[in-house]
Structure 1
Amino acid sequence: MTKDIIDIARASYQAYVAKDRAAIEGLFAEDFHFTSPLDNRIDRATYFQRCWPNSESLVAFEFIHLVPHRDKVLVTYEGHGTDGHRFRNTEILTVRDGKITEAEVYFGWSIPHAARRGGFVDTKDA
Structure 2
Amino acid sequence: MAAAGNRAEIIRAIFAAYLANDRKTVEAAFADDFRFNTPYGENIDKPRYFAECWRDSDWIGRHEIERIMVEGGEAFVTYRCIAKDGKSFRNTEFFVFDGDKVTRVDVYFGPSHQDGSLVRQDR
Per the TM superposition, whether the score is higher than 0.5 is: yes
Instruction: State whether residues 72 and 92 of structure 1, in contact with CA within 8 Å, keep that contact through their aligned partners in structure 2.
Output: yes
Aligned to 2:42, the other structure's residue is in SS state: strand
In the alignment, does 2:116 pair up with 1:114? no
Letter in 1 for 2:82: H
Aligned residues: 118
Stretches of structure 2 lacking an aligned partner (at least 5 in a row): none
> In structure 2, how many angstroms separate the alpha carbons of the residues matched to 1:84 and 1:48?
26
Letter in 2 for 1:17: L
Stretches of structure 1 lacking an aligned partner (at least 5 in a row): 116-120
Instruction: State whether residues 16 and 58 of structure 1, in contact with CA within 8 Å, keep that contact through their aligned partners in structure 2.
Output: no
Alignment-derived partner of residue 78 in structure 2: 76
Q: Deviations over 1:16-48 (max 9, x none)?
A: 001101111111111100001111110001111
Letter in 2 for 1:77: Y
Cα shift at 1:54: 4.9
Percent identity among equivalent residues? 35
Task: Provide the alpha-carbon RMSD of the alignment.
Answer: 1.5
Q: If each structure's helix is expressed as a fraction of its own residues, which one has the higher value? A: 1
Alignment-derived partner of residue 94 in structure 2: 92
Instruction: State whether residues 80 and 90 of structure 2, in contact with CA within 8 Å, keep that contact through their aligned partners in structure 1.
Output: yes
Q: If each structure's strand is expressed as a fraction of its own residues, which one has the higher value? A: 2
